[in-house]
Amino acid sequence: MDTGFVPGQGRAQIYFASAGQGVPVILLHDGLANSDYMSDLARALLRARCRVVVMDARGHGRSTMGTLPLSYDLLADDVVTLMAYLRLRNAAFVGWGDGAVQAMNVAMRHPGTVSRVFAFAPRTTPDGLLASGENAPTIKSFMTRAKTEYKRLSRSGSFSDLRDDMRNLHRQAPEWSNADLVRVTAPLWAVAADHDELVARMQVEQIASAIENAGLAILPATSHFALLQNPLLFSLSVESFLGGR
């Protein structure tokens, strides 16, 4: 396994890990989480003979924030920078929450670099985040876990600052219309959990209907944390989307 840091814009240092051989697949985690959350999926894709790449989004996990304001465009650029460093001309993407938004933004801004997008719990506008979700027991549990992990992994900054940065980002982005969504030309699955406490199903369905090469999938008996609640179901869904590879 190859691990390290690549320099991002604004003097950020972006952590990554890469392993395996075969079809390259980049896994992107949700806001306030880190790449460790993708471990079960990463192991499953390695067994399926994929080349798996994970990264900590800037300001998350082991990656530093740098000096620039956080934006989805900046997060997309970090992915492209890492791909250039790893000499990946294109890759499939699996994104969860903010990672799904990040993957779709890469597909819009750098279409030649994206072969497929598995977008779990994506959004199109700030209204896609349900205000009631903050009070859900699973979200409260996640926040406690994320804070502990941040203290263990982070080399700089504070969890409260990161939380404020993400809240500011969520208030203003993404802001995508159907005209924006059609810029995604790669095959895409818009995937929802049937009991997602954080992301509005309507926006997931909008993505599936607006993008020409898109499909809609609903994961049963799961919430926003489906990849942790039922890792076998989640990994089989991803492998099916990738064509069984």
12 residue type, one letter: A
Q: Judge whether residue 244 has pLDDT over 70.
A: no
Q: Judge whether residue 15 has pLDDT over 60.
A: yes
Which residue range is the domain that position 141 belongs to?
2-236
- pLDDT of 245 reads 43
For the chain, the average pLDDT equals 97
Q: How many angstroms separate the CA atoms of 37 and 227, rounded?
A: 8
Please, which residues have CB within 8 angstroms of residue 140's CB and are 6 or more apart in sequence?
none
Q: How many angstroms separate the CA atoms of 178 and 133, rounded?
A: 25
- pLDDT of 156 reads 85
- Whether residue 194 lies inside any domain: the answer is yes
- Whether residue 244 lies inside any domain: the answer is no
- Whether residue 153 lies inside any domain: the answer is yes
Q: What is the CATH number of the domain that holds 134?
A: 3.40.50.1820
- Whether residue 241 lies inside any domain: the answer is no
Q: How many angstroms separate the CA atoms of 57 and 156, rounded?
A: 14
**Percent of the chain scoring above 90 in pLDDT:** 97
- pLDDT of 110 reads 94
CA gyration radius, the chain: 16
- Whether residue 21 lies inside any domain: the answer is yes
Band of residue 145 on the pLDDT scale cut at 50, 70, 90: very high
- Whether residue 245 lies inside any domain: the answer is no
Each residue's pLDDT tens digit, 43-101: 999 999 999 999 999 999 999 999 999 999 999 999 999 999 999 999 999 999 999 99
- Whether residue 73 lies inside any domain: the answer is yes
Each residue's pLDDT tens digit, 100-140: 999 999 999 999 999 999 999 999 999 999 999 999 999 99
- pLDDT of 217 reads 98
Q: How many angstroms separate the CA atoms of 201 and 207, rounded?
A: 10
- pLDDT of 171 reads 97
Each residue's pLDDT tens digit, 169-208: 999 999 999 999 999 999 999 999 999 999 999 999 999 9
Band of residue 155 on the pLDDT scale cut at 50, 70, 90: confident
* Mean pLDDT score, 4-18: 98
As for how many domains the chain has, the answer is 1
- pLDDT of 220 reads 98
